[in-house]
A and B are shown apart, each in its own frame.
Chain A
Amino acid sequence: MAQITLIEAVTQALAYEMAHDESVVVLGEDVGVNGGVFRATQGLQEKFGELRVLDTPLDETTIAGVTVGMAAQGMKPVAEAQFEGFIYPMMEQIACHAARLRNRTRGRITVPAVWRAPWGGGIRAPEHHSEANEHLFTNIPGLRVVLPSSPARAYGLLLAAIRDPDPVMFFEPKRIYRQYKEEVPDDGEALPLDVCFVLRDGTDVTLVTWGAQVKETLEAADALAAEGISAEVIDVATLTPLDFDTIAESVAKTGRCVIVHEAPKTAGFGAEIAARLAEECMYDLLAPVERVTGFDTHIPLFRLEMKYLPSTERVVEAAKRTLAAS
């Protein structure tokens, strides 16, 4: 069986679902002959034709809006925003229609669509190509926000996202697109949405993260283990709707929690998890909840960007602070 990268897993999931469900179409800028600027849709147009893998005019509003229209007609469009930094013109269609139509028509019109976008920093990209803006979507009711962090989860969660009857934002951490390969059987097996994945069991501190930061967080858990500290690592994977139970269970066991994310701190999705911990797990906590995040600034151009992104050391230190507190 072939070993594949995260981005190849995206391609594999798209190809599988297109082959098994004729209503699945892919659209966006450069998704056709070019196979996407990161090659996520490589070879799909050759296989499925120009109508099912559609290069659109360069207009994100157009892409998002026709996606809503197609989905309302019973198709399963998978739209691509070329970068998360260019997704903003799509937001009106997503917030006002995609996420809302089920509710405002009492279920008469639904939008089973997926919006994919390469997400996050750390690849020395030009301006506007490195944002982490998942928190702008987690506050939209009726919308799922999913971030895979491994090839297997990219494959399984993308299949689930396409099959889901409601709109899903699928943010792909581009920094780890090609970080490593793993075996991902092309068996069409979806993974469950709306659940967190416990990537590592531990007893002293819970590290909660998603997307590319899974890399630094797992490294931090290794570093902590070397010092005799046992860290549990949770990949949230589906931010909304949140599987808070898994986080709460872990924190009930460890009494400590560090939340790691790349987006700015203030009103980032870590704030939601911290608030829930304060509301529901106060008496399990042995130390204040820590957040290791991007700063409340624009992600700088690449000469400084690694000083913006949460580092392994920062996660280790935060974990140790929670241990020092009690």
Chain B
Amino acid sequence: MSIAAKFEIEYLQYLDAEGKQVRDDLPAFAQDLDQMVELYKLMLSTRVFDAKSIALQRTGKLGTYASCLGHEAAHVGIGSAMKPEDVLAPSYREYGAQLYRGVQPREVYMYWGGDERGNDYQNEPARHDFAWSVPIATQCLHAAGSALAFKIRGEKRVAVCTIGDGGSSKGDFYGAINIAGAQNLPMVAVIVNNQWAISVPRKIQSGAPTLAQKGIAAGLYCIQVDGNDIIAVRKAMEDALERARNGEGGSVIEAVTYRLGDHTTADDARRYRGEQEVKDAWAKDPVKRLKNWLVARKVWDDKKEEAWKAECDDWMDNEVNAYLETKTQPVSAMFDYTFAEIPADLEKQRDLALSLENKAH
């Protein structure tokens, strides 16, 4: 028998569920404990931020909100491995990556609070990243297009897209990795496999044993990592980014994690999944795991944790206040960004809207 092609998918993990190190070859960044503490702090602040968002929604101050609970290692791992000049094309819950890149909590609140200005990230490098992409998987092609632009212009930059397990079923995802392979694009696609696409479990999305292997068919490097182990996520990202930056090809990384919360605040996950499953998933909590590892290395303790949480609370309170104090846009804002210059015909409609507004007051 002659074999036309053969493949295997590596699974990468450094820290097990308890935070015990399961291999000795720690990557360089993980040997720098100060840096690991910084990563941990961002994971924790992401979690504080998330809880605050949900509280805001529950008290009627936010619309529907998509929580990132349980994804902190995956998201911070992605964001922290990227260079400022790289470009992120996220879906809608990758706050850990985005906060790292300068997105402000108030911007997240504005977006889910019904204000377009939330998409207008003020800080670099987020300012040159894409805005949240709610139409599933469409952002993957934007990453491919960005990577194509980098290639054409000879820039040493990488485009990164994140996508869910559900989203990896969509043609846009397949198209993106396909052109990335065909054109040898500097692109990294991270499938954040949190086991659920709203109520639809992972097994309904694909008959393949891993989602990472979808990239094989596209000619990309593929790896599956423990998505609750930030060292694994970040290491896989660093390798993939370096290859891409050096013109050695794109990658698909599957980060295996779990959506600990409801899909969004409009969802009730108890309708479709058992309590035990969620309990088991909490035992693999990415935050607790890294904490255990840091505590064992004596660079973190409960006192530091409380102090940092208090700092995060202050930060978030400040962000919440800034959000709540933001006045609703004038009705003209509905029109002003439709084109570079408002066309005469649309201006008439804007005048009508303004006159209706004045009458209402």
Using CB atoms and an 8 Å cutoff, list the residues of chain A in contact with chain B. 29-30, 32-35, 37, 55-62, 85-86, 88-89, 124-129, 265, 295-298, 300-305, 307-308, 311, 314
Q: Which among B241-249, B250-258, B295-303, B333-341 touches the partner chain? A: B333-341
A276 to B242, CA, bound (A): 62
A297 to B346, CA, bound (A): 9
Contact: B331 with A30, CB < 8 Å? no
Return A129 CB to nearest CB of chain B, in Å. Answer: 8
Contact: A34 with B272, CB < 8 Å? yes
Q: Is residue B116 within 8 Å, beta carbon to beta carbon, of the partner chain?
A: yes
Contact: A295 with B205, CB < 8 Å? no
Residues of chain B contacted by A59 (CB below 8 angstroms): 169-171
Additional 15 contacts, C-beta under 8 A, given A62-B171, A296-B338: A29-B200, A33-B272, A34-B271, A57-B206, A58-B136, A58-B166, A58-B197, A85-B135, A126-B112, A126-B134, A127-B132, A128-B135, A295-B353, A303-B328, A303-B329
Residues of chain B contacted by A33 (CB below 8 angstroms): 199, 271-272
Residues of chain A contacted by B205 (CB below 8 angstroms): 57-58
Residue of A whose beta carbon sits closest to that of B204:
A55
For window 319-347 of chain B, which residues contact chain A by CB distance below 8 Å?
A: 328-329, 331, 333-335, 338, 345-346
A57 to B112, CA, bound (A): 26
Residues of chain A contacted by B195 (CB below 8 angstroms): none
Return A50 CB to nearest CB of chain B, in Å. Answer: 10
Contact partner of B115 (CB less than 8 A), chosen from A35, A301, A308, A314, is: A301
Q: Is residue B357 within 8 Å, beta carbon to beta carbon, of the partner chain?
A: yes
Contact partner of B63 (CB less than 8 A), chosen from A60, A61, A125, is: A125
Q: Is residue B356 within 8 Å, beta carbon to beta carbon, of the partner chain?
A: yes
Contact: A62 with B169, CB < 8 Å? yes
Given contacts A33-B271, A124-B114, A126-B63, contact A55 B169 (CB under 8 A): no
Return B340 CB to nearest CB of chain A, in Å. Answer: 14
Contact: A57 with B204, CB < 8 Å? yes
Residues of chain A contacted by B331 (CB below 8 angstroms): 304, 307
Chain B 38-63 near chain A by CB (<8 Å), digits 1 or 0 = 00000000000000000000000001
For window 63-114 of chain B, which residues contact chain A by CB distance below 8 Å?
A: 63-64, 111-114
A33 to B205, CA, bound (A): 15
A284 to B237, CA, bound (A): 70
- Main secondary structure on chain A at its contact with chain B? loop
Residues of chain A contacted by B64 (CB below 8 angstroms): 124-126
Residues of chain A contacted by B111 (CB below 8 angstroms): 127, 301
Contact: A29 with B197, CB < 8 Å? yes
A307 to B329, CA, bound (A): 11
Residues of chain B contacted by A37 (CB below 8 angstroms): 198, 266-267
A128 to B111, CA, bound (A): 12
Return A291 CB to nearest CB of chain B, in Å. Answer: 11
Return B47 CB to nearest CB of chain A, in Å. Answer: 22
Interchain Cβ contacts under 8 Å between A and B, 19 examples: A29-B166, A32-B199, A33-B199, A34-B271, A37-B267, A55-B200, A55-B204, A57-B204, A59-B170, A127-B134, A295-B335, A297-B338, A297-B346, A302-B63, A302-B114, A303-B328, A305-B114, A307-B334, A308-B334
Return B137 CB to nearest CB of chain A, in Å. Answer: 8
Residue of A whose beta carbon sits closest to that of B134:
A128
Q: Is residue B349 within 8 Å, beta carbon to beta carbon, of the partner chain?
A: yes
Q: Is residue B227 within 8 Å, beta carbon to beta carbon, of the partner chain?
A: no
Given contacts A30-B200, A34-B271, A307-B331, contact A124 B63 (CB under 8 A): yes
Return B236 CB to nearest CB of chain A, in Å. Answer: 24
Given contacts A86-B135, A128-B134, contact A303 B199 (CB under 8 A): no
Using CB atoms and an 8 Å cutoff, list the residues of chain B in contact with chain A. 63-64, 111-116, 132, 134-137, 164, 166-167, 169-171, 197-200, 204-206, 266-267, 271-272, 328-329, 331, 333-335, 338, 345-346, 349-350, 353, 356-357
Contact partner of A296 (CB less than 8 A), chosen from B164, B170, B349, B357, is: B349
Given contacts A85-B135, A128-B135, A265-B349, contact A300 B266 (CB under 8 A): no
Contact: A34 with B199, CB < 8 Å? yes
Contact: A303 with B169, CB < 8 Å? no
A55 to B334, CA, bound (A): 37
Residues of chain A contacted by B335 (CB below 8 angstroms): 295, 297
A71 to B316, CA, bound (A): 53
Given contacts A34-B271, A59-B171, A297-B338, contact A304 B63 (CB under 8 A): no
Residue of A whose beta carbon sits closest to that of B199:
A34
Contact: A34 with B198, CB < 8 Å? yes
A302 to B113, CA, bound (A): 8
A265 to B116, CA, bound (A): 22
Given contacts A297-B335, A307-B331, contact A57 B349 (CB under 8 A): no
A57 to B169, CA, bound (A): 6
Residues of chain A contacted by B115 (CB below 8 angstroms): 301, 303
A270 to B42, CA, bound (A): 52
Residues of chain A contacted by B206 (CB below 8 angstroms): 57
Given contacts A37-B266, A297-B335, A303-B114, contact A86 B136 (CB under 8 A): yes
A301 to B64, CA, bound (A): 12
Residues of chain A contacted by B166 (CB below 8 angstroms): 29, 57-58
A301 to B349, CA, bound (A): 18
Contact partner of A297 (CB less than 8 A), chosen from B164, B169, B334, is: B334
Residues of chain A contacted by B266 (CB below 8 angstroms): 37
A314 to B357, CA, bound (A): 12
Given contacts A34-B271, A57-B206, A128-B135, contact A300 B116 (CB under 8 A): yes
Given contacts A33-B271, A307-B353, contact A296 B346 (CB under 8 A): yes
Contact: B356 with A307, CB < 8 Å? yes
A89 to B271, CA, bound (A): 28
Residues of chain A contacted by B169 (CB below 8 angstroms): 57-59, 62
Contact: B199 with A314, CB < 8 Å? no
Residues of chain B contacted by A311 (CB below 8 angstroms): 356
A144 to B47, CA, bound (A): 48
Return B271 CB to nearest CB of chain A, in Å. Answer: 6
Residues of chain A contacted by B167 (CB below 8 angstroms): 58
Given contacts A85-B135, A302-B63, contact A307 B357 (CB under 8 A): yes
Return B36 CB to nearest CB of chain A, in Å. Answer: 35
Residue of B whose beta carbon sits closest to that of A37:
B198
Given contacts A58-B170, A124-B114, A125-B64, contact A295 B349 (CB under 8 A): yes
